[in-house]
């Protein structure tokens, strides 16, 4: 196994304690998808010991916080986002002792650990759900149980309480013969939604969160937390439940209507989040929390993350990663700089005076940005594109998130056959759209999966050029749970680690800038050239200090927008170039010529 310990830790100042307040204002978070990061026991699935063994790598990169996707006990229907015991580690990943060791080793290196919190739903194998199947049990009301539609035989087609479809395919209602009723699941049928209206549910969740905080973790990333409050009428009914108005709800190509507008940003969300802060975080220090927030607008982000409202520290908004889909996730449309800028600008503008932003392009649900919006067809294009999108994201105001392998410029999987996919969303979508509803051709669906499917982000971390990319030993007993990307022979950490010009070297610089440059960390954000079709430009200002960020997000050269040229006047000196996707000399020449090369990005001190 390649050793990534430089023995001398980086000189970049760790954000912890280095910023005025709060500590995470200039922190960088690194997300680990544990099953794909590092396998140490040869079963083909990554584990906690594997993460501990790679902490020196993360320390060298310079990140401050590590967010772990779920490692709790789980039947793994949705790779751990279906939890059957919140207070245990799944044997796939290790033990509670391994978790304690990871925490201690991370803290020794100044790294914080944030765990995933999945409490919109549990697994159907959780003891709470099993108890809830009995109408006389105290847990009877812990989930969204509903009778069959009036006049229909329970369990027969069409008897579901309404026509909501699950985001993972099929009806959002599952009939349970034991209880003789249906339960709601926005996600898979093995992920029943918890009933947050019930105060006992909320108390149990807070108790569990406190248990983890007391054990030493540094906060939570909260899975679809803005979907826990549902819109019900004054009798507690969901839309269409009385059987009357069901035809009024628009039904999509797959034959279902979407629960999304009734389940996102519901009427009691602020109340629940404020209660959670009081019950779990009040009186604690040095933690952070971030809520995954589908359906939350930039304005609502401002409210929820404004410290005076006592809810969450930051949220992940999704409007900017939806720009290449129309109607359905699987109907993809081309990337346009303009659309990305409009969405990101709205997010930045909304938190100018209060609140905070999270910055991300990649995570375990999104494809790799370099393949999605950049160009991964050859080495040079790939490296330039990865740097351009990295620079753009990291120079915004907010807390940047790096998803494992993004710092190496890892690409999409380029799978060509359905049996290479492991994700239930991908497999179900294919079945439903191609085979059942027949609303998409096999070719078009395979193309959409290759572009946007979640497994693109889930192939094993590429540590080196060996048989399984160093993710697991070359002679491991089991194959990796999902195929290793063949391009690991070229794109891997061992190759890039000592090369300051690699994508890895570039990310180290981005992270160090956030730590060391107060303007990058907290300076005001102002958009330039709002209509440009190729170039995304803005300034960051902190008192007298202003930096300019200008990035060509296309594979063709681009004229410098007038507004930018005006600001630069006679051109710039090499010493003013703080960072470039090429190099400083190239940047100076491009500015003088008034034309940026393909994927050229420059950060300029004004």
Q: Retrieve residue 534's tokens.
A: 């190729």
CA nearest neighbour of 538 among 385, 393, 380: 393
Active site residue 292: yes
Active site residue 43: no
Asked whether position 124 contacts ligand NOJ by CB under 6 A, the answer is no
Asked whether position 223 contacts ligand NOJ by CB under 6 A, the answer is yes
**CB closer to ligand NOJ, 176 vs 292:** 292
Asked whether position 78 contacts ligand NOJ by CB under 6 A, the answer is yes
Please enumerate in sequence order all residues whose Cβ is within 8 A of that of 98, keeping only pairs 6 or more positions apart, or say none.
Answer: 47, 48, 49, 52, 89
Binding footprint of ligand NOJ, residue count (CB under 6 A): 9
Residue entry with tokens 């229909």:
152
Please enumerate in sequence order all residues whose Cβ is within 8 A of that of 543, keeping only pairs 6 or more positions apart, or say none.
Answer: none
Residue 64 C-beta: closest distance to ligand NOJ, Å: 21
**CB closer to ligand NOJ, 224 vs 572:** 224
Residue 259 C-beta: closest distance to ligand NOJ, Å: 13
Residue 364 C-beta: closest distance to ligand NOJ, Å: 6
DSSP secondary structure code for residue 413 in this structure: -
Asked whether position 12 contacts ligand NOJ by CB under 6 A, the answer is no
**CB closer to ligand NOJ, 76 vs 581:** 76
Residue 81 C-beta: closest distance to ligand NOJ, Å: 3
Residue 106 C-beta: closest distance to ligand NOJ, Å: 22
* Burial class of residue 328, CB neighbours in 10 A (0-12, 13-18, 19+): middle
Other C-beta atoms closer than 10 Å to the C-beta of 578 total 20
Q: Distance (Å, rounded) from C-alpha 202 to C-alpha 268?
A: 13
Asked whether position 224 contacts ligand NOJ by CB under 6 A, the answer is yes
**CB closer to ligand NOJ, 27 vs 118:** 118
Catalytic residue among 218, 265, 292, 407: 292
Residue entry with tokens 């129309």:
326
Q: Retrieve residue 246's tokens.
A: 């069901």
CA nearest neighbour of 163 among 261, 259, 264: 259
Q: Distance (Å, rounded) from C-alpha 29 to C-alpha 18?
A: 16
Q: Distance (Å, rounded) from C-alpha 136 to C-alpha 27?
A: 49
**CB closer to ligand NOJ, 78 vs 241:** 78
Binding mask 336-365 for ligand NOJ (x = CB under 6 A): ----------------------------xx
Instruction: Calculate helix-pair angle for 337-350, 298-305, nearest 10 degrees.
Output: 30
Residue 80 C-beta: closest distance to ligand NOJ, Å: 9
Pairing of strands 288-292, 314-316: parallel
Residue 221 C-beta: closest distance to ligand NOJ, Å: 9
Binding mask 360-399 for ligand NOJ (x = CB under 6 A): ----xx----------------------------------
DSSP secondary structure code for residue 194 in this structure: B
- Binding ligand NOJ by CB under 6 A: which of 24, 145, 187, 356? 187
- Binding ligand NOJ by CB under 6 A: which of 118, 395, 484, 553? 118
**CB closer to ligand NOJ, 78 vs 376:** 78
Residue 123 C-beta: closest distance to ligand NOJ, Å: 11
Measured between its terminal Cα atoms, the distance across the chain in Å is 45
Residue 124 C-beta: closest distance to ligand NOJ, Å: 13
Q: Distance (Å, rounded) from C-alpha 547 to C-alpha 532?
A: 19
Instruction: Calculate helix-pair angle for 298-305, 269-276, nearest 10 degrees.
Output: 30
CA distances 604 to 317, 347, 546, Å, are: 28, 23, 9
The full length of the chain comes to 606
**CB closer to ligand NOJ, 316 vs 525:** 316
Range 263-322, binding ligand NOJ (CB under 6 A): 292
Residue 169 C-beta: closest distance to ligand NOJ, Å: 12
> Cα dihedral angle (479, 485, 487, 490), rounded to 10 degrees?
-60
SS3 177: coil
Tell me the residue number closest to ligand NOJ, measured at CB: 81
Binding mask 142-181 for ligand NOJ (x = CB under 6 A): ----------------------------------------
Query: Helix, strand, coil % (nearest 5) of the chain?
Result: 35, 15, 50
Residue 567 C-beta: closest distance to ligand NOJ, Å: 39
**CB closer to ligand NOJ, 64 vs 223:** 223
**CB closer to ligand NOJ, 365 vs 407:** 365
**CB closer to ligand NOJ, 79 vs 492:** 79
Please enumerate in sequence order all residues whose Cβ is within 8 A of that of 469, keeping only pairs 6 or more positions apart, or say none.
Answer: 460, 461, 462, 463, 484, 485, 488, 492
Catalytic residue among 47, 124, 160, 223: 223
**CB closer to ligand NOJ, 81 vs 415:** 81
- CA 438 distance to own-chain centroid: 30
Q: Do residues 319 and 346 touch, judged by C-beta distance below 8 A? A: yes
DSSP secondary structure code for residue 27 in this structure: -
* Burial class of residue 242, CB neighbours in 10 A (0-12, 13-18, 19+): middle
Q: Distance (Å, rounded) from C-alpha 325 to C-alpha 303?
A: 27
Q: Which residues are catalytic?
A: 223, 292
Instruction: Give the binding site for ligand NOJ (CB under 6 A).
Output: 78, 81, 118, 187, 223-224, 292, 364-365
């Amino acid at each position: 196994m390649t050793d990534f310990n430089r023995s001398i830790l980086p000189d970049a100042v760790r954000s912890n304690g280095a910023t005025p307040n709060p500590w995470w204002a200039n922190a960088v978070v690194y997300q680990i998808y544990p099953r794909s990061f590092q396998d140490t026991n040869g079963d083909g699935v990554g584990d906690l010991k594997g993460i501990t063994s790679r902490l020196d790598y993360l320390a060298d990169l310079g990140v401050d916080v590590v967010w772990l996707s779920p490692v709790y006990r789980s039947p793994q229907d949705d790779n751990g986002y279906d939890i059957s015991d919140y207070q245990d580690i799944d044997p796939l990943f290790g033990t509670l002792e391994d978790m304690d060791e990871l925490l201690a080793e991370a803290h020794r290196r100044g790294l914080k650990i944030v765990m995933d919190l999945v409490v919109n739903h549990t697994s159907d194998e959780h003891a709470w759900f099993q108890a809830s199947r009995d109408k006389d049990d105290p847990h009877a009301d812990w989930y969204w149980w509903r009778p069959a539609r009036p006049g229909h035989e329970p369990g027969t087609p069409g008897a579901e309480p309404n026509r909501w479809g699950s985001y993972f395919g099929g009806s959002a209602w599952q009939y349970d013969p034991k209880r003789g009723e249906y339960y709601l699941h926005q996600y898979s049928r093995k992920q029943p939604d918890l009933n947050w209206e019930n105060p006992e549910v909320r108390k149990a969740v807070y108790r569990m969160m406190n248990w983890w905080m007391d054990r030493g973790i540094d906060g939570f990333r909260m899975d679809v937390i803005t979907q826990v409050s549902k819109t019900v009428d004054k009798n507690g009914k969901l839309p269409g439940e009385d059987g009357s108005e069901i035809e009024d709800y628009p039904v999509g190509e797959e034959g279902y209507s979407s629960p999304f507008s009734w389940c996102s940003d519901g009427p009691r969300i602020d109340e629940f989040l404020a209660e959670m802060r009081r019950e779990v975080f009040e009186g604690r220090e040095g933690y952070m929390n971030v809520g995954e927030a589908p359906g939350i607008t930039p304005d609502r982000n401002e409210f929820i993350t404004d410290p005076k409202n006592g809810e969450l520290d930051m949220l992940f908004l999704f409007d900017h990663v939806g720009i290449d889909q129309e109607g359905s996730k699987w109907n993809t449309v081309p990337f346009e700089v303009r659309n990305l800028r409009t969405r990101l600008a709205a997010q930045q503008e909304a938190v100018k005076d209060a609140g905070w932003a999270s910055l991300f392009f990649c995570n375990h649900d999104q494809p790799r940005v370099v393949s999605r919006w950049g160009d991964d067809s050859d080495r040079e294009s790939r490296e330039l594109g990865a740097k351009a999108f990295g620079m753009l994201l990291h120079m915004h105001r907010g807390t940047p998130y790096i998803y494992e392998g993004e710092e190496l410029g890892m690409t999409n999987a380029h799978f060509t056959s359905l049996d290479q996919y492991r994700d239930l969303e991908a497999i179900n979508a294919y079945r439903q759209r191609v085979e059942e509803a027949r609303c998409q051709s096999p070719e078009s669906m395979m193309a959409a999966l290759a572009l946007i499917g979640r497994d693109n982000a889930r192939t094993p971390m590429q540590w080196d050029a060996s048989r399984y990319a160093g993710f697991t030993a070359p002679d491991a007993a089991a194959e990796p749970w999902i195929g290793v990307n063949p391009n690991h022979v070229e794109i891997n950490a061992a190759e890039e680690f000592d090369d300051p010009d690699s994508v890895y070297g570039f990310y180290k610089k981005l992270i160090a800038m956030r730590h060391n440059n107060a303007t990058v960390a907290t300076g005001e954000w102002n958009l330039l050239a709002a209509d440009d079709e190729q170039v995304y430009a803005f300034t960051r200002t902190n008192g007298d200090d202003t930096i300019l960020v200008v990035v060509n997000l296309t594979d063709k050269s681009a004229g410098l927008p007038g507004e930018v040229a005006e600001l630069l006047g006679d051109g710039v000196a090499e010493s003013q170039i703080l960072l470039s996707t090429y190099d400083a000399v190239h940047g100076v020449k491009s500015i003088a010529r008034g034309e940026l090369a393909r994927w050229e990005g420059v950060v300029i001190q004004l």
